[in-house]
Each structure stands twice: as C-alpha cells, then as structure tokens.
Amino acid sequence: MDFSIATELYPEDYWYRSDTYLNTESELDLIQVIQQLHGSLDPRTVFACFGKTLGQHLPVKGVQLTLDKQKFVWGRHYGIELQRTVNDMFYITYQLSVPLTPSQKQTLERLESVLVQPLNNALKYQNMSNQAMFDALTNLGNRYYYRQAIDIALARVNRRQGQVSLIVLDLDKFKQLNDVHGHKVGDFVLVGFAELINQAIRNTDQAFRIGGDEFVIITQGGSHAAANVCERIIEMMPKHAELTEYNIQCSFGVAESLPQQEVEDLYERADKAMYAAKAAGRNCYRICDK
C-alpha cells in the first residue's frame, strides 16, 4: 500500500507573478509566517502554506520536498531549478522564474529556517495518528480504524452511493501453528499474509487486522466483487513461500450489506459465513444468504 502524500496545487492567485511578490526583507513578517505554519498539524497544509509564502515574497513558481515515503508538492513544475538541503534534514527543489538575488537568497534561508519545526511537529503528529490507526505488526488498519471505515462505508450505502461487502477471514489452524512453532513463527506468517492481502485487494478496498489471526476486508461492490477478492487470495497463497512452508490456509465469509444494516449485523453475517466455509473443509469462502 502506497502512503505517499502530495499537496494540492494552490489556485492561480498563489502562483508567482512578477508584479505582486515582495522582494525586500523588511516586508517579510517572520512572526506572522511562523504563526501561519504552526496553524495546522497536517504536514500537507504546513507545506502548502510554506509554498504560498514563497510565492508571495520570491520568484518561486513551485516547490517540492520528498521525505521518506512522502512527497509534498506546491505550485508549478517547470522553471529554473534550485536544489537545497535544509538543516541536513529536508531536500527541497524549487522552480524559479528568474535566478535569486543575494538578498532574495537570504529571505529564502529565513523562510526555510522557520519551516523545519512546524513541519517536524506535523510529521510527528501524523506518525502518532498512524500508530493509533494501524496494526503495529502487519501495518494493516487496526480494529479502531476498521470501525471508523465501516461506519463511513455503510453511511455511503444508506445514501444509495454504491454497494459494500464485508469479508471476514482467519487462518486455518493458526493456534496449532503457534503451539508447535512458537509465536515468532506465528508473527512471521501474519506479516506475510498481510502482505498477500495488500497485493490481492483493489485500491478501493480496505484491509484490517482486528485481532490475533482475524482479518476483515471492506470491499466496494456486491458479494460478487468480494468473492473475486477471496478467489485471488486463495490463488496467490501457494505462491508465497513463507505461507506454503507452514501449509497455511484460510477460510472466508462474505456478506453484502443490506439497506439500513447495522455494523454488528453485517459482521455477524460474514462471520457466520466464514464458519460455514470451515465446516465445508476450509481454504474456501462462503457467501451469506440475504
């Protein structure tokens, strides 16, 4: 799953125009800039505010920063390229309409210096938020995130904005695996299985680990779309060495949401279908009757 982030482009009014930008240090109110940058804990918003300020005070048409798996972009992507490293932390690429004068370079350095702390704060907050939403072992969404996501999905269905199905799945005989090989091997298998799920689902689907070896997948579409996801996972499992080494199999239950259905009812229907799959011999899926 790709967690890279790109900021939205600002309107034309925010892009550099030669008759509007301020080119003297005295006209730059750093206190106001700092307050604006600290006004949000969303790193995209912080970076967009930085880009807007650059466009108002310097001949900067666009700016881009890549940090770990995140990419932040503001403005246009052509012009004279200027690359700079800020505090040995951020590698920033600027697109200029004209080369910077010495005084403008000093202004840029001042603006860069006030970006570091608010952007770091926003990135740390984002990281803490992700930790609260994602399972530490598998990096899939956790139970809390699942509850938020399924509430949103069902609300959309109730507004007649598409269909949603729920897949409940767990690994067959996982307790025996832990008892024989230990929890370290069990964790190894869970991580491999989570990677397989991410490869099998569509971009519109969401996968979660809600406890132990129990997973759920929210699929956009009816039970037929969910069945296709189950079939892909079953087909892919023999191709993953970390799963075949321990003869890992999986049982699935599918339930398509009904009008005005509660979250608990949808889950119970999918869970019941999963146990029907286990009773049918495991390593298969069953669809709940309406």
Is the alpha carbon torsion for 13, 14, 16, 19 positive or negative?
A: positive
List pLDDT tens digits, range 197-247. Answer: 999 999 999 999 999 999 999 999 999 999 999 999 999 999 988 788 898
- The number of beta carbons lying within 10 Å of the beta carbon of residue 149 is 16
The CATH H-level superfamily of 143-287 is: Reverse transcriptase/Diguanylate cyclase domain (3.30.70.270)
Residue 225 tokens, joined: 């779309």
HEC string of 219-238 equals EECCHHHHHHHHHHHHHHHH
Residue 238 tokens, joined: 């023999």
Domain locations in the chain as residue ranges: 30-132, 143-287
Specify the pLDDT at position 17: 41
Specify the pLDDT at position 18: 39
- DSSP code at position 79: S
pLDDT of 77 strictly over 50: yes
User: Catalytic pick from 172, 213, 271, 289?
Assistant: 213
Q: What is the mean pLDDT of residues 62-72?
A: 87
Is the alpha carbon torsion for 151, 156, 159, 164 positive or negative?
A: negative
Q: What is the mean pLDDT of residues 53-69?
A: 90
Residue 202 tokens, joined: 């569509």
Instruction: Look at residue 286 and give its three-state secondary structure.
Output: strand
When pLDDT is cut at 50, 70 and 90, the band that residue 70 belongs to is: confident
**pTM as predicted:** 0.63
Residue 212 tokens, joined: 């132990």
List pLDDT tens digits, range 82-119. Answer: 999 988 878 899 999 999 999 999 999 999 999 999 99
Of 150 and 77, more confident: 150
Report CA-CA distances (Å) from 257 to 144, 149, 158, 177, 280. 20, 14, 10, 33, 23
**Third-level CATH fold of 30-132:** Beta-Lactamase (3.30.450)
Q: Are 10 and 54 in contact (CB under 8 A)?
A: no
Residue 126 tokens, joined: 């984002």
Q: Which of 209, 179, 188 is nearest to 197 (CA)?
A: 209
Catalytic annotation present for 213 = yes
Rounded CA separation 52/17 (Å): 12
Residue 267 tokens, joined: 């889950």
H/E run at residue 94: strand 90-96
H/E run at residue 255: strand 250-256
The values of phi and psi at residue 165, to 5°, are -125, 155
Specify the pLDDT at position 11: 39
Phi-psi region of 126 (alpha: psi -120 to 50; beta: other; left: phi over 0): alpha
List pLDDT tens digits, range 161-182. Answer: 789 999 999 999 899 999 999 9
Rounded CA separation 154/261 (Å): 8
Specify the pLDDT at position 131: 73
The values of phi and psi at residue 102, to 5°, are -55, -40
